[in-house]
Structures are given as C-alpha cells and as structure tokens.
Amino acid sequence: MMIRAFSLRRNRAALRRLARRLAHGQRGVAAIEFAFVLPVMLTAYFGIVEIGQGVMADRKVTQLTRALGDLASQSTTLSTDGINDIFNAAKTIMMPYTDSPPSMTISSIIIDAGGTARVCWSEQSNSTALARGATVTIPAALKVPGTSLIMAKASYNFVPAIGYLMTGAVTLGNDPMYMRPRTGSVGGTENIEQVERVGRALCPNF
C-alpha cells in the first residue's frame, strides 16, 4: 500500500509539472502569435483611420467646390476684391485640413448661338486660370445656346500620415461644378445673362 501511495504521489507531481510546462508553453505560443499579429492589427487600424480621414477631406473638397459656384453665381458683378472674398470664405470649409492650401478656380462660361462653350473670364487661387476665349467641354444637357454658366473647380492634396512614402500626396476633387447665374448682367453681342467681371467686356466679345 505504501508503495502504491508513493507511486500515486509521484505521478501527481509529474502531472503537475507537465501541466505547468504546458501552461508556460501555451503562453509562449500565444506571445509569439501576438507578436506576429500585432503589426497587422496596427496597420489595419491606422489604415482604416487614414481612409476615414481621406473620405472626410474629399467631402470637404466637394463642399468647397459647391460653395465657390454658389457664391459666384449669386453675384451680378464681381470685382477683384469680391473674387478674393469668395476664395477666402470658401476655403474655410476645408478646416481642419489646412496642411496645404486648396486649388480653386471660378470661370464664367458662355454658350454662344452656335452652341460653343467658351471662357469669358476665369480667376484662380493656388491654381491656373483658363484663358479668355478658350473652348471648354461641358455636359451636353447644359449646352444651351445663348446662356452662361459659372464653372467652379477645387482640389486638395491630401497627405496621409501613414503610407506617405508609398503613395505620396493624393489629389482629391478637381471635378467641375456648374451653376446658372441668379441675377447676372445682360449684354455682349448676343445679350446673354452672365456674371460680369469688373474691368472686362461682357461676352461673347472675345
């Protein structure tokens, strides 16, 4: 009986040692697995954050473009100060995305009697204005002879905090929006209602 009891105690001790080794081994395996998984989890997390920031910035650019067109189309005439006021007011929409200034253009487009769309005037901020008289492509539904449009464009260079070395800055926006003048001046050789740029002749008079 004593031999059997000793044998049982020895077996229990061996089982406890084995259980401890297994527990230590499982913790070690779990630690190794976590070390492998952690970079993937962090990359996924920051990737989701960056995508969310990019989507929000893109929405801001869309709102900025709409504001440019809306403010300009409400005017009868626009001076240099008036244009600058529009640019300064509209770009506040981009806050808190102010790492770089947005690129903005406002252009008055005239569709003449022949259906050709041309630039009457164009102003820019951190961008390139269109040349007076240059032909532009606009949606067919908007190409109504004897009318005018305000065309607004805006873009923003979004710089992701993560992955910049791989992707660099991402240009958001740069899609034109069109609006009809609300209370434009009527004139030019075809008496077209348009937003008049102070110091410039009404169009078509290229």
Is 118 among the domain residues?
A: yes
Is 31 among the domain residues?
A: no
What residues pair up with 156 in beta bridges, in sequence order? 172
Cα separation, 186 vs 194, in Å, equals: 6
Banded pLDDT at 3 (limits 50, 70, 90): very low
Residues 157-188 have pLDDT tens digits of 998 876 555 567 889 999 999 999 998 889 88
Is 36 among the domain residues?
A: no
Cα separation, 94 vs 58, in Å, equals: 10
Is 203 among the domain residues?
A: no
Cα separation, 158 vs 156, in Å, equals: 6
What's the structural domain count of the chain?
A: 1
Is 48 among the domain residues?
A: yes
Which residues span the domain enclosing 47?
43-197
Is 13 among the domain residues?
A: no
Is 8 among the domain residues?
A: no
- Render 46-77 in DSSP notation, one character per residue: HHHHHHHHHHHHHHHHHHHHHHHHHHHHT-SE
Cα separation, 121 vs 206, in Å, equals: 10
Is 96 among the domain residues?
A: yes
Residues 9-52 have pLDDT tens digits of 555 666 566 556 655 555 555 556 656 665 666 666 566 767 77
Whether the predicted pLDDT of 5 surpasses 50: no
> Mean pLDDT of all residues in the chain?
84
